[in-house]
């Protein structure tokens, strides 16, 4: 009997009707204006960034991120149909701080790794590590902590901005975690 109740509770909690009743409106779509993409509600702010690589965890505060070399990118945000400017360290520099340093020896590792970027709202995007590493791409992906020279409060303090993306769907607001996963080839 307990198993039946537990199973029912799990199924109920996963249903859209339950999510709406409990206030989980992550799928709710705000009204659209003009040709812009729909905007989502603000995410809870992230206070630090956790990077997981090869079983090690590195936690970086906003202050730690400010100490890394800063890059400014100019992007078009389709949610607002506006041009925006973000500043922060390259994702590659943040990954290097956690141990994934680009070199001739680590090229195979970078080519066979993915990075899962997760926000405070549990939204996540999967990148190949190579598309975040400047030696493999012409675009820039940054950990934005500033927007138009002000703290990035609108993006949840810490935000992943991919300047290559045609749409901001691959940006992660309220970025909390970067998890590097390597795929081993069977020989």
What ranges do the domains of the chain cover?
A: 43-182
Distance from C-alpha of 78 to C-alpha of 74, rounded to nearest angstrom: 13
Q: For residue 129, which of 169, 91, 176 has the smallest C-alpha distance?
A: 91
Query: pLDDT tens digit string along 151-164?
Result: 888 778 999 999 98
Query: pLDDT tens digit string along 121-134?
Result: 999 999 999 999 99
Query: pLDDT tens digit string along 67-82?
Result: 999 999 999 888 888 8
Confidence class for position 18, pLDDT limits 50, 70, 90: very low
Burial of 51 (0-12, 13-18, 19+ CB in 10 A): buried
Q: The pTM is what?
A: 0.75
Topology (CATH) of 43-182: Sulfite Oxidase; Chain A, domain 2 (3.90.420)
């Amino acid at each position: 009997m307990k198993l039946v109740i537990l199973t029912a509770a799990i199924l109920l909690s996963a249903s859209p009707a339950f999510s709406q009743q409990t206030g989980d409106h992550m799928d709710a779509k705000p009204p659209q204006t003009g040709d812009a993409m729909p905007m989502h509600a603000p995410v809870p702010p992230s206070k630090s960034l956790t990077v997981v690589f090869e079983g090690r965890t590195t936690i970086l505060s906003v202050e730690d991120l400010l100490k890394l070399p800063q890059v400014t990118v100019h992007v078009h945000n389709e949610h607002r149909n506006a041009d925006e400017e973000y500043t922060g360290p390259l994702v590659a520099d943040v990954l290097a701080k956690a141990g994934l340093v680009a070199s001739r020896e680590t090229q195979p590792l970078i080519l066979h790794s993915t990075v899962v970027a997760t926000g405070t709202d549990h939204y996540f995007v999967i990148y190949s590590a190579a598309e975040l590493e400047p030696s493999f791409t012409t675009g820039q992906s940054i950990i934005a902590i500033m927007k138009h020279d002000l703290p990035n409060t609108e993006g949840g303090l810490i935000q992943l901005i991919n300047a290559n993306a045609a749409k901001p769907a691959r940006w992660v607001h309220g970025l909390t975690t970067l998890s590097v996963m390597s795929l081993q080839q069977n020989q």
